Amino acid sequence: MTKFIPVAAVLAFALAAPGAAEQTNGQAATDFKLTDASGKNVQLSDYRGKTVVLEWNNPGCPFVQRHYDSGNMQKTQAAAKAGGAVWLTINSSAPGKQGHMDAAGARQFVAAKKAAPAHYLLDPKGVVGKGYAAKTTPHIYIIDASGVLRYQGAIDDKPAARVEEMPAARNHALAALNEIKAGKAVSVAQTQPYGCSVKYAD
């Protein structure tokens, strides 16, 4: 059975500690519900039957900026969408911390960067981020059509790459998506995420 983070918990208080155990590949991903930048409630389980990508985002993080300013994140989002996947960007920065945005700021970011997530989700209390033990921005999780976590970690294998070197990187997210679509096991199912620490409230 899919695990579930109650809506009330998301709205009221954090149930999971920052040191929560990582989600386990091969097991059901924790269900959750968050509000997106347009005010719509979005629940992970609504997308059962589709592959889902979760991307933790902090616009103030230099690593995130590198991926967005180079267009790499947008290209990855577009390729995922073209392959039938749903891309959910999540911001777990707490109020007063780097990268925190309200709904208007999130909409402005998506428009300015010409990003292509299906939804930009707001998690200011960090409930979902802590529940997934999201450590960095970016941090990528890929959940298959049956709701099982198949990949977690870095977007690629070049944490220190200059922008001009990024095309040579192995895009772990796209590689995993292609393998899932082909009905194969994900050959690199977990990697060390890199980037800025997620700016939780505590």
Q: What is the DSSP string of 144-159?
A: -TTSBEEEEE-SBS-T
Show the tokens assigned to 154.
């870095």
pLDDT in tens, 24-60: 999 999 999 999 999 999 999 999 999 999 999 999 9
Residue 9 has pLDDT above 80, yes or no: no
- Hey, what domains does the chain have and what are their CATH numbers? 28-197 (3.40.30.10)
Eight-state DSSP code of residue 31: B
Is the pLDDT at 3 greater than 60? The verdict is: no
For position 13, what pLDDT does the model report?
A: 25
Question: Is the pLDDT at 148 greater than 60, yes or no?
Answer: yes
CB burial readout 180-189, b (16+ within 10 A) else e = beeeeebeeb
Residue 163 has pLDDT above 90, yes or no: no
Nearest CA to 55 among 124, 142, 128?
Answer: 142
Model confidence pLDDT, tens digit, residues 38-47: 999 999 999 9
Based on DSSP, count helices (H) and strands (E) in the chain, helices before strands: 6, 9
Neighbouring CB atoms inside 10 A of 103's CB total 14
pLDDT of residue 19: 39
Q: Is the pLDDT of residue 98 over 80?
A: yes
